[in-house]
């Protein structure tokens, strides 16, 4: 393979993992000083997960037909993203209707996200080797504060976020934006992600691609380390 000049990473499920649906719900209820019994809280969390209401979590187990169009464009703008996920949340009864928006706000907070255990090591290793790093994400909000809060922003040279450009993976245009920002020929770029269908779109430009498992952070301690083996 041609010597790498840059590595692009997906965000959710690749460099960071969102908190569990139950932890997400608990945090918002605690912030609003609302109590649910443990059985009710567990059942509500299960219902929210099945609905696909947590961005970065599981996809809906059954997408309501009236939301299909909105779901399709959810990553192309911040308004669409909020509308899609709060609509999914509203499929589940909550003690206070205001909790649906509060849950959406919570998922954008740095506290809702944890970097994978080897993320700092791998990003620092790439920086030491002179390899540029970009983040390419289908997302409806600005994830830069999450990187800053966890100390990873210093390793990232550019972000290509779908909502800022109105185009989403696997469209090659989003990957090209990142490559151009890094002044890197796509043939010298590796794309790392957890979704072959979306992240694999980088291959259309000539990028190499590799995939990691979308697992909770404590179950994937070293999934990113093989990236360093590909740097020559």
The 10s digit of each residue's pLDDT in 77-92 is 999 999 999 999 999 9
User: Among 105, 110, 82, 148, which Cα is nearest to 19's?
Assistant: 110
How many residues make up the chain in this entry? 232
| pLDDT over 60 (residue 29) | yes
pLDDT at 232: 64
The residue from 94, 111, 128 where one domain ends is 111
Give the up-direction half-sphere exposure of residue 51: CA atoms within 13 A in the CB hemisphere: 21
The 8-class DSSP code of residue 60 comes to P
Pair 70, 31: CB distance under 8 Å: no
The residue from 80, 111, 142 where one domain ends is 111
Give mean pLDDT, residues 107-131: 97
User: Among 191, 190, 192, which Cα is nearest to 223's?
Assistant: 192
Give mean pLDDT, residues 110-118: 98
Instruction: Give the model's confidence band at 197: pLDDT under 50 very low, under 70 low, under 90 confident, else very high.
Output: very high
* Distance (Å, whole) CA 151 – CA 164: 23
Tell me the per-residue pLDDT of 47-74, one tens digit each, with 9 for 90 and over: 999 999 999 999 999 999 999 999 999 9
| More reliable by pLDDT, 229 or 16 | 16
Decide if 88 is inside a domain.
yes
Decide if 1 is inside a domain.
no
Tell me the per-residue pLDDT of 157-166, one tens digit each, with 9 for 90 and over: 999 999 999 9
Residues of the chain with pLDDT > 70: what percent?
A: 99
Query: Which three-class secondary structure state does DSSP give residue 1?
Result: coil
Domain residues for 120? 6-17+113-229
The residue from 111, 138, 158 where one domain ends is 111
Instruction: Give the model's confidence band at 231: pLDDT under 50 very low, under 70 low, under 90 confident, else very high.
Output: confident
Residue 34 and residue 120 in one domain? no
pLDDT at 73: 97
Concatenated DSSP letters for 172-211? HHHHHHHHHHTT--GGGEEEEES-HHHHGGGGGGT-EEEE
* Distance (Å, whole) CA 112 – CA 13: 13
What residues contact residue 157 under an 8 Å CB cut-off, 6+ apart? 6, 132, 133, 134, 181, 182
Pair 34, 98: CB distance under 8 Å: no
């Amino acid at each position: 393979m041609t010597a790498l000049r840059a590595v692009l990473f997906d965000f959710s499920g690749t460099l960071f993992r969102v908190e569990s649906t139950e932890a997400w719900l608990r945090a918002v209820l605690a912030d609003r000083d609302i109590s649910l019994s443990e059985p009710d809280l567990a059942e509500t969390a299960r219902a929210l997960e099945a609905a696909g209401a947590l961005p970065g979590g599981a996809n809906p187990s059954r997408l309501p037909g009236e939301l299909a169009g909105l779901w399709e464009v959810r990553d192309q703008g911040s308004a669409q993203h909020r509308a899609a996920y709060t609509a999914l949340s509203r499929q589940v009864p909550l003690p206070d209707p205001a909790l649906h928006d509060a849950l959406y706000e919570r998922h954008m907070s740095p506290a809702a996200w944890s970097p994978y255990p080897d993320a700092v090591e791998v990003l620092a290793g790439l920086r030491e080797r002179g390899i540029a790093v970009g983040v390419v994400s289908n997302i409806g909000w600005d994830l830069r504060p999450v990187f800053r809060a966890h100390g990873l922003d210093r390793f990232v040279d550019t972000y290509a976020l779908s909502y800022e450009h109105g185009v989403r993976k696997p469209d090659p245009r989003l990957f090209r934006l990142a490559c151009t920002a890094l002044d890197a020929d796509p043939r010298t770029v590796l794309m790392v992600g957890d979704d072959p269908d979306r992240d694999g779109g980088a291959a259309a430009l000539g990028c190499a691609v590799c995939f990691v498992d979308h697992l909770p952070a404590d179950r994937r301690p070293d999934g990113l380390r093989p990236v360093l083996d590909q740097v020559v």
